[in-house]
Amino acid sequence: MKVLAAMSGGVDSAVAAARAVEAGHEVVGVHLALSRMPGTLRTGSRGCCTVEDAMDARRVADRLGIPFYVWDFSERFHADVVQDFVDEYAAGRTPNPCLRCNEKIKFEALLDRAVGLGFERVVTGHYARVEHTQAGPELHRAADWAKDQSYVLGVLTAEQLAHCWFPLASTPTKAQVRAEAAERGFLLAQKPDSHDICFIPDGDTRGFLAERLGSDPGEIVDRDGAVVGNHDGVHGYTVGQRRGLSLGVPSPDGRPRFVLEVKPSSRQIVVGPKEALAVSRIAGSRISHAGAPHPGLEAGLEVEVQIRAHADPVPARARMLGDELVIDAGEPLTGVATGQSAVLYEGTRVLGQVMIDRTVAADAVPVEPMVGEVATAR
């Protein structure tokens, strides 16, 4: 089988490529150049797709004896991931750039080019599993739940999954992957995992956004509308945030306050107590199915929902109402922001995801939702 191995320069993708070679496939390695600053250097575990990463990937490819190329996707990455990130924050939403990168770059742009060049599979170092069934491919959690990355792959379609191969799916632990890399003589065996947002290597998200969106002052208000502070732009805030609020008026009970809602139209940030963050319903219309759509979603289906990459899944009931997917959680969810993705699971299987357009507070959910209802959490 002709296989394209996406090699990020990390230990996971290196071992995944090695396993594909060991399995006897015709493997070609490719590194994606995503930065518009080719001189960018990696700082510890921050950043990815840097000069060091490209060199690390090349060294692994040389050791495996496979062809290696660098593909420049920097313009598309900027348009589909970086600019989308900025636009979403400007609109008062909180995006997940890793999920968007998987959707638009690694499993759309890369996969489209790979298939066009005659490759049958694209190999990556993601911790997830694809099962090929009579009904089509299914996406499942990896064996190592601590490293499971199925959440950020929940945007993949059946057609994309058909061309995906994740060789690390059944590996029990990351420690085993590192040990295997060391045994194969890969110098990156103990290289730190990258984290945070790769295109903001210093971790200063607020500063990054301020440089691009400037200052747009507004008020910070409590749930009654009383002004308790001021801000330089709604793009610096997200639901659930506690730090950096700089409130001039303390809460009556002395307890800390959290961001409950971001209102870009009025340039207001609404704050309140932690318990006011509890949400029991989320909904959205931007839906994608990881494989064939589950027929049970039309009438209502018992599922688990995960709202962040490292969040615990929560029992829920999901159903389609018109063109909207409505999810009622079995226990309150906290820190839910519009723009996030809610990924649905049935056991280990990923059913798909929906981008959250609205939320409803835990004490405001009606017994029976109405099609097109617009009640919000706050």
162-211 per-position pLDDT tens digit:
999 999 999 999 999 999 999 999 999 999 887 668 888 888 899 999 99
In this predicted structure, which of 22-36, 309-323, 363-377 has the lowest mean pLDDT?
A: 363-377
pLDDT given for residue 124 in this prediction: 97
Between 235 and 41, the more confident residue is 235
Number of domains in the chain: 3
Judge whether 204 lies within some domain.
no
- Report helix, strand or coil for 178: helix
Same domain (yes/no): 131, 21? yes
Same domain (yes/no): 147, 283? no
Judge whether 201 lies within some domain.
no
- Specify the DSSP class assigned to residue 371: T
How far apart (Å, rounded) are the C-alpha atoms in residues 30 and 53? 12
Average pLDDT, the chain: 90
Residue 328 has pLDDT above 90, yes or no: yes
Please give the residue range of the domain that contains residue 351: 278-361
Same domain (yes/no): 113, 224? no
Judge whether 115 lies within some domain.
yes
Judge whether 156 lies within some domain.
yes
Same domain (yes/no): 255, 324? no
Same domain (yes/no): 131, 266? no
User: What is the average per-residue pLDDT within 78-86?
Assistant: 95
Res. 37 pLDDT band, cuts 50 70 90: low
Same domain (yes/no): 21, 96? yes
Q: Which helix (H) or strand (E) holds 158?
A: helix 158-161
Same domain (yes/no): 28, 127? yes
CATH code of residue 329: 2.40.30.10
Same domain (yes/no): 54, 81? yes
Catalytic residues: 101, 198
Residue 134 has pLDDT above 50, yes or no: yes
Q: Which helix (H) or strand (E) holds 174?
A: helix 174-183
Backbone phi and psi for residue 246, each to the nearest 5 degrees, phi listed first: 50, 55
C-alpha 25 chain-centroid distance: 30
Same domain (yes/no): 73, 170? yes
Same domain (yes/no): 148, 293? no
User: Comparing C-alpha atoms, which of 167, 232, 152 is closest to residue 197?
Assistant: 152
Judge whether 170 lies within some domain.
yes
